[in-house]
Amino acid sequence: MALPKDSLKSDFPIFNDSDLVYLDNASTTQKPKQVLDAVMAMYTDSNANVHRAIYDIGSKATEKFENSRKNISDFINATSEKEIIFTSGTTESINLLAHTLDNSLGPGDDILVSEMEHHANLVPWQMASERTGASLKFIPINSRGELDLSDPEKYFTRSTKIIALTHVSNVLGTINPINDIAGIAKEIGALFIVDGAQGIPHQSIDVQDLGCDFYAFSGHKMLGPTGIGSLWGKMELLEEMDPFMGGGEMIENVSMLSSTWNEVPYKFEAGTPNFVQAVGLSAAIDYLNDIGMTNITKHESELTSYALEKMSQIEGLRVFGSPKNRAGVISFNIDGIHAHDLAQFLNEDNIAIRVGHHCAQPLLSSLKENSVARLSIYIYNDKSDIDMFCTSLSTIKGYF
């Protein structure tokens, strides 16, 4: 393994004096002490509204907040920190885009998503389709759980104005060919939006290299606090877009009848931002950088292969999807055991996994399942976690 397991786990207070096996990282990740300390320090040392106060702690809070924006910009290789918009997470980021880009849509236009999308990258586009009269179309998946791109001209046409796809499936673990799709989007003149919630925590992201127009992600899935995330967009596109919400900070001038907007990114950040959480996200990025994203990807790849091999030895266990390029997400069911019963019995052994439709009901319908179990790994997981998980599965199967 590429990571120093013992020293890493000791950084996470939730694992102190606990036998918890936490395998629900695609839902949310645990927080290292370094992130918790950064959040607490903001509340205790510089708790003042940003961009508004000229007194010392207000200036200090603003400096830390804007330094966080710069840190995120560097992490994804944005052209400028001004391309980083703070949001509450991926869901808000995609809703922002669905509302601000809908003025360019109308009857005869297509919005293209896929069959594997999380509801956060599906429902906003359904709503945009209803508002604008644009058609919502989707790319199906093949038997391996990959996007079916065997006939791309069937889906990518001159009518396609917006393409919105997940970087990594939160159910199948499939890593989609973002670079290839970005090339197609450019050829047909479509905007390309990437839901990076399951991508950026697990691999190095260079938005310029990816070739997309927008990339959205959440802090809580990458060791950061809840309630904070970012939307990256190309500056020329952000400057053309209207604000999503109105209020303080996002304005330049206001009269009783009209207003003008602040510059990017502030015109998209109405009201008091989650500045404490933003500093916490920056601390999480520092933590990930110290480990190295290449090391994280290698560790997760090895552990995923180990888990798949161990699980293949359990009779009646069916894994959903076998993509050639996959992340550390494995969804499965065991014949004769309902997924919810399975999770409840695993909990008796202090093992945490996710069960249900995983906010991807259309995908589960295509799998002909109502509910599936899912394990998802991260940097603090190791082979012993997988061993305990598989031992518990075997015991539960024997009981049933």
Catalytic residues: 359
CB 108 within 8 A of CB 159: yes
What is residue 22's three-state secondary structure? Answer: strand
Residues 6+ apart with CB under 8 A from 118: 166, 170, 195, 197, 358, 359, 360
Q: What is the DSSP letter of 145?
A: S
The two tokens of residue 60 are 């200090």
Distance CA 369, CA 229 (A): 31
CA pair distance 117, 324, nearest whole angstrom: 19
Residue listed under structure tokens 């400057």: 239
Helix, strand, coil: what percent of the chain each, to 5?
45, 20, 40
**How far apart are the C-alpha atoms of 123 and 125, rounded to whole Å?**
5
Q: Which residues contact 321 (CB under 8 A, 6 or more apart)?
A: 144, 145, 169, 171, 172, 173, 174, 331
Residues 6+ apart with CB under 8 A from 46: 57, 60, 61, 64
- List phi, psi (to 5°) of 197: -55, -40
Q: Are 189 and 196 in contact (CB under 8 A)?
A: no
HSE, side-chain direction, 13 A CA sphere, residue 179: 5
**Cα–Cα distance, 306 to 295 (Å, whole number):** 17
**How many Å is the maximal CA-CA distance in the chain?**
71
Q: Which residues of 69-98 are buried (b: 16+ CB within 10 A; e: fewer)?
A: bebbbebbebeebbbbbbbbbbbbbbbbbb
